[in-house]
Amino acid sequence: MSSSGLGGDRGLFVYAVVRADHGLPDGVTGVDSSTLGLVPHGELAAVVSEVILQRPPGRRADLTAYSTVMEALLAGGAVAPILFGTVLPDEETLVAEVLMPREAELDRTLQDLEGRAQFNLRAQYVEEAVLAEIVAEDPEIQRLRDSTRDLPEDAAVGDRIRLGERVSRAWEHRARVDADYLLSQVLPLASAHTVRREPGPQAALDAALLVEDGRSQELQDQLEMLAAHAHGRLELTLLGPLPPYDFVGAF
Amino acid sequence: MTMTAHRSGSGYLNRPSPSSLADVVEIILDKGIVIDAYVRVSLVGIELLTIDARIVIASVDTYLRFAEATNRLDLSEQGGKDLPDFIHELQDKGAAGKVGGAVRGAKNALTGGGDDEDDEDDERPRRTRKSSSAPARRRSSSR
């Protein structure tokens, strides 16, 4: 960045911390189509752009601009995302309050992220298939279902609640079992993982995996196989490679 | 987004590009390195934007739960509102306003539907989502 002291009406939108020699992506602009710049400190640099503080209120385009910058940065090497919407007054503050005091931990983070990317894996149930399984496997559920299905909605409320509860429990149990199985199949291919949402009827698994670049194809192949197996019952979705949003939050 | 949708092998694994707003929100919200509040300056509307985004996610979750509850209570094919109906009601209530589009996006993300209705401030070209098993969209007639 050329100007150091920004006027009082301007701030620095901070996207990420990268290595000082990390080039800026061509043709990618920041929020409000601003020009991206690097604020270096030692071997680190923060990726920033100037932003007018009293601008029109935040828009959806800001979220996509941030995300686009991050993905473009990922292509050029390790990137440690800064929480969306972080704005600092000027370069001096950025260096003195962030890059300098946190140099060691940021350096370690970039080391850990080098050559790796995040993949988000989601396994969602095909509802009818799972309900059919649950009904088929539990005679008590069958009984409750048979005794309530042809009654008007306000009848046999007690039985309906018992039915719903039993189905819900069975489903949650199933989700935990499925989540454990899926994780056991993919974790050997990942350097780290976080569970983004606990297993439940909505999704057996919603997890972020940090994967070495050299293993991402293997991960996809493995998931293709699992998806083919689970087809009709669980839908597997893999997003990525993504910037490692879920693997820098420890600070 | 720079990544390309890519299918290999059996093709059963969904590999979408996260182009809808709901996908982006879900990926980035509350993630990343946090910088102490006393160092930061606030940008008009950013807080609001993230709150809106949280509401979208929370609403979809809530309605999904209602939809599931409905199904649990009534396993036969009668009655019951499905998720798209709930989402339409949410939009019709107008509470959403500017988040309405995002709710649509969220619904697309959740149902894999192909009914892309984007709002005006998203000028970026969109990739088409896979819309294989999406049910035909029903307009709710109640107002």
The pLDDT tens digits of the residues spanning B69-98 come to 544 544 444 344 444 444 454 444 444 333
Query: Is A67 an 8 Å CB contact of chain B?
Result: yes
Contact B33 A60 (CB under 8 A): no
List CB contacts (< 8 A) between B44 and chain A.
Answer: 53-58
Q: pLDDT at residue B108 above 70?
A: no
- Which of B14, B43, B130 to mutate: most A Cβ within 10 Å? B43
As a whole-number percent, the residues of chain A with pLDDT over 90 amount to: 70
Comparison of pLDDT for B67 and A100, the residue scoring more: A100
Residue B95 lies in a domain: yes
- The interface predicted TM-score of the complex, written ipTM, equals 0.84
The whole-angstrom separation of Cα B137 and Cα B142 is: 15
**H runs (alpha helix) in B3-98:** 21-28, 46-73, 83-92
Q: What is the pLDDT of residue A91?
A: 96
**B76: domain range?**
21-111
- Which of B28, B47, B78 to mutate: most A Cβ within 10 Å? B28
Residue B48 lies in a domain: yes
Contact B42, A87 (CB under 8 A): yes
Q: What is the pLDDT of residue B100?
A: 39
> What mean pLDDT comes out for the span A69-83?
95
Q: pLDDT at residue A98 above 70?
A: yes
Lowest mean pLDDT among A96-105, A195-204, A232-241, B106-115: B106-115
List CB contacts (< 8 A) between A51 and chain B.
Answer: 43
Confidence of residue A202 (pLDDT cuts 50, 70, 90): confident
Quote the number of domains for chain B. Answer: 1
List CB contacts (< 8 A) between B49 and chain A.
Answer: 57-60, 62-63, 85
Contact B23 A97 (CB under 8 A): no
- Reported pTM: 0.73
Q: pLDDT at residue A152 above 60?
A: yes
Give the alpha-carbon dihedral of A105, A64, B16, B57, to 10 degrees: 90
Residue B26 lies in a domain: yes
B40-65 pLDDT, tens digit per residue, is 887 767 777 777 766 666 665 555 55
Q: Which two tokens stand for residue B57?
A: 């996610």
Taking 3-state DSSP, the helix, strand and coil percentages for chain A, each rounded to the nearest 5, stand at 45, 25, 30
- Which of A13, A53, A64 to mutate: most B Cβ within 10 Å? A64
Q: What is the pLDDT of residue A201?
A: 86
Q: How far is the CA of A76 from the CAs of A18, A70, A117, A158, B85, in angstroms? A: 9, 10, 12, 60, 44
Contact A11 B41 (CB under 8 A): yes
The whole-angstrom separation of Cα B14 and Cα A72 is: 22
